[in-house]
Structure 1
Amino acid sequence: MEIHVYDRNLRRLGHIENHTSLQWHRKYYECGTFELHCPVTAENLRLLKPGNVIAKGDNKLEAAVIRGDQTEEESTLVNEITRNGKFLPVYLGDRLTGPLFNYSGTVEDAMRFMLGRMAAVPLLQIAEGTGDKTKIQFQATYKNVLEYLTKLARYAEIGFRVVPDFKKKTMTFETYKGIDRTQAQGKNPRVIFSESYDNLNQAKHNYSDESMKTKVIVGGAGEGLNRVYVTVGGGSGFDLREVFLDAKDINKDELTEAAYLAALRTRGQEYLNENKVFENFEAEAEADVNFTYQKDYDLGDVVTVKKKKWGTSQNLRITELCEVYEYGGMYVVPTFGDALPTAIKWDD
């Protein structure tokens, strides 16, 4: 597999064929990452400079920017270059949402609204949405665009990516939705990962309720008995886990009473979405055993995962897929379900 290298204006610089390892980590709700290992040569050093863009020869939907920690190492055991970076949405992480704004509408339109008001990214275009009708109401002031896109994507369960066109020298932001391929549905071909299908190898089950909350009291404008409060969620007895959330940063003067209460409720629901039970399966899968990767299933699809030894059968979304290229072969490591929680707050 060839790795093509371009400058930041998507002009081709050359290609690398002698890499020893590539981990191409695709993510549905977030910006993907990569790690590349290859021999130290004058050509590789010329091509693999920070800021340049790499793309796999068989992939027309994704490319990545060389960013972050980079190394060259020479010893009696190793003589290689290591390059790391992130997929093209990383450019959106360099932008802010701008001055205070209020938004009410669909999540997809919210994404495009923020992209339209941020400082322009060279070559970037914005595609039409998928038609997802998930609604949201929120207020923001100078927030990181990429972080907000990630939060909005999780809220509506839609994916996003920035697709390069190396001929036209453009990059296009687009949203997309995974396909339901679960055992119970009958519209699409079913995809099942299990021991009996020999495609759930070295499985790892992760579960965390460390940060789970069931009820949030959102405090808005005002003081003491005059303060505005809304409640989102519920629960009782041992199942109740409640928390208080300060949302005074939402400017009441910019909204009608109904819109303000809706914004507080949205903030509470977003908090519950970020503080729920997180459960996933990680497994190593051959790319063409029983079900062929990127033909029968892909990133974002919902599939059935069975582990008889653990007595579990669940329908889970493929939220991450790591393609691993080593020793002339390739395998994939899908993550089914939610990634383990990270501390992301909407009011940061």
Structure 2
Amino acid sequence: MELRVFDKTAQPLGAIDELASLLWHTKYFDVGTFSLLAPITDNNSRLLVEGNLITKHDGKKEVKTADGGVWRRAAQITYVHITKDENGLEQLEAQGYMLSWWLNKRCIYPQIVATGTNQYLINLMVKNNCGSAAGTKRRFPLLTFLAQETIDGVAVEYANEAYAQLGQEVKARAQAGKLGYDILLNERERLFGFYLYKGNDLTATNTEGNTPCIFSRDFDNVNEQEYTASIENCGNFIYVQGAADDDGSQPVTTVDGEGATGLDLVEVFCDATDIARKYQQGETEVTIPLNTYIAMLKTRGSAELENYGKNINFVSTINTNSNLKFKADFDLGDRITCKETKWGIQIDARITEVTETYQKGEETIEATFGDSLPTLVDQIRKVR
């Protein structure tokens, strides 16, 4: 495994010559992270500085486009810490994020009011705020869009909060559409590519003709497994309140997720007053028709309900010497089958996170299937 280092213009700077450990944590619905420890050498000190970019070369399959271009996930160093212990051993620690964290550098401006699938909306957001349709000052240099297949999805009425953070809105639309995203690096062409995709269905009962991918200790392809299920944060019916009209009244609509009744009915509330009824279009102030505005509130409500489903988390440490190989037989975002006979559990779930650990010449892979339990920050955001 080799780590190559580039500057922010994708200019190659060299390769790390010594490495103690690396954690490479990729995510489907969110921004991935990395952390590494390396001894202090002249080369490492020169390369491992904040702002530089890192790619990982380990022989695994990368994204290839029709023209033969090879695109790799890359990360930017955002934190460097150097220590010297009592024995005089000097060590450098570097941490950072996959390049999709760059989306957090932009607010959405002007406000987007549009109808379309989540794929269309995400592309529109990125294009308008850091892509070719953005002003020269706001464009990401060397950014292009990787070719995308048309991803099935229903059209929704969408409007963002004024000056909403681009990264958060892309993440929310990706979760709603079950899509993965990142910004990849083409080392040869020195380009960055926005990557939007949907994982393959590799479940045991898939109807697409794909070879099933089943993780189970029965097949000796996992070393450890951990299962968590929680209904503590469930909700299946949501009230959504919008911004006040000129007369002071606030429209309210509902989204019924499951048609539940009685004790099975769990109601929650969403304050969507950030979705303005009026917006500027050039010099003109436009008032959104009530039926269109109600549809926008329902879109927000449906997205919020996604956060209130049953949380199922199946974490497995994968046997790297087994019949299933990461990047060859399965990849981040694919839907697979997890089975644990003794626990009586078999679920179909998406691979939402993968952590690759390299230490002392050995590699371990840990995959998270399904959705992890909500963090404290997520819970606070829901209360607000």
* TM-score with structure 1 setting the length: 0.94
| Equivalent-residue separation in structure 2 for 1:132 and 1:105 (angstroms) | 12
Amino acid at match of 1:161: D
Q: Deviations over 1:118-172 (max 9, x none)?
A: 1211211123432113222221121111111111111111111212112222101
Runs of 4+ in 1 over 3 A off after TM superposition: 221-227, 344-348
Amino acid at match of 2:212: R
Q: Deviations over 1:24-70 (max 9, x none)?
A: 11111111110111101222111000000011123542110001x42
1:85-124 maps to which residues of 2 (within 5 A)? 85-118=96-129, 119-124=138-143
Amino acid at match of 1:243: V
- Residue 191 (structure 1) aligned with residue 221 (structure 2): no
1:1-348 maps to which residues of 2 (within 5 A)? 1-58=1-58, 60-67=71-78, 69-76=79-86, 78-118=89-129, 119-134=138-153, 135-140=155-160, 141-185=162-206, 187-222=209-244, 226-233=249-256, 234-253=259-278, 254-342=287-375, 343=378
Amino acid at match of 2:227: H
8 Å Cα contact 2:17-2:43 kept in structure 1: no
8 Å Cα contact 2:238-2:301 kept in structure 1: yes
| Equivalent-residue separation in structure 1 for 2:99 and 2:321 (angstroms) | 28
Shift, 1:284, TM fit: 0.7
| Equivalent-residue separation in structure 2 for 1:341 and 1:37 (angstroms) | 29
Paired residue secondary structure (2:100): helix
Q: Deviations over 1:298-337 (max 9, x none)?
A: 1111111001121100111111111111111112101011
| Equivalent-residue separation in structure 2 for 1:44 and 1:17 (angstroms) | 7
| Equivalent-residue separation in structure 1 for 2:45 and 2:17 (angstroms) | 14
- Report the RMSD for the aligned CA atoms in angstroms: 2.1
| Equivalent-residue separation in structure 2 for 1:17 and 1:203 (angstroms) | 34
Paired residue secondary structure (2:49): coil
Q: Deviations over 1:247-271 (max 9, x none)?
A: 2222224322221111010111111
| Equivalent-residue separation in structure 2 for 1:113 and 1:101 (angstroms) | 9
| Equivalent-residue separation in structure 1 for 2:178 and 2:94 (angstroms) | 31
8 Å Cα contact 2:55-2:72 kept in structure 1: no
Paired residue secondary structure (2:273): coil
Paired residue secondary structure (1:309): coil
Q: Relative to structure 1, is the Cα distance of residues 102 and 346 closer, same or farther in structure 2, using a 3 angstrom cutoff? A: farther
Amino acid at match of 1:74: K
Amino acid at match of 1:172: G
| Equivalent-residue separation in structure 2 for 1:347 and 1:280 (angstroms) | 23
Shift, 1:73, TM fit: 1.3
Does 263-272 or 184-193 show the bigger shift?
184-193
8 Å Cα contact 2:106-2:165 kept in structure 1: yes
Q: Relative to structure 1, is the Cα distance of residues 251 and 37 closer, same or farther in structure 2, using a 3 angstrom cutoff? A: same
| Equivalent-residue separation in structure 2 for 1:5 and 1:220 (angstroms) | 48
Amino acid at match of 1:146: G
What's the counterpart of residue 282 of structure 2? none
Q: Relative to structure 1, is the Cα distance of residues 122 and 136 closer, same or farther in structure 2, using a 3 angstrom cutoff? A: same
Q: Relative to structure 1, is the Cα distance of residues 108 and 321 closer, same or farther in structure 2, using a 3 angstrom cutoff? A: same
Paired residue secondary structure (1:314): strand
8 Å Cα contact 2:17-2:44 kept in structure 1: no
Amino acid at match of 1:97: I
Q: Relative to structure 1, is the Cα distance of residues 96 and 222 closer, same or farther in structure 2, using a 3 angstrom cutoff? A: closer
Amino acid at match of 1:72: I
Does 1-10 or 251-260 show the bigger shift?
251-260
Number of residues of Structure 1 aligned to a counterpart in Structure 2: 347
8 Å Cα contact 1:130-1:177 kept in structure 2: no
Q: Relative to structure 1, is the Cα distance of residues 242 and 225 closer, same or farther in structure 2, using a 3 angstrom cutoff? A: farther
Amino acid at match of 1:129: Q
Shift, 1:103, TM fit: 1.7
Structure 1 residue ranges without an equivalent (≥5): none
* TM-score with structure 2 setting the length: 0.85
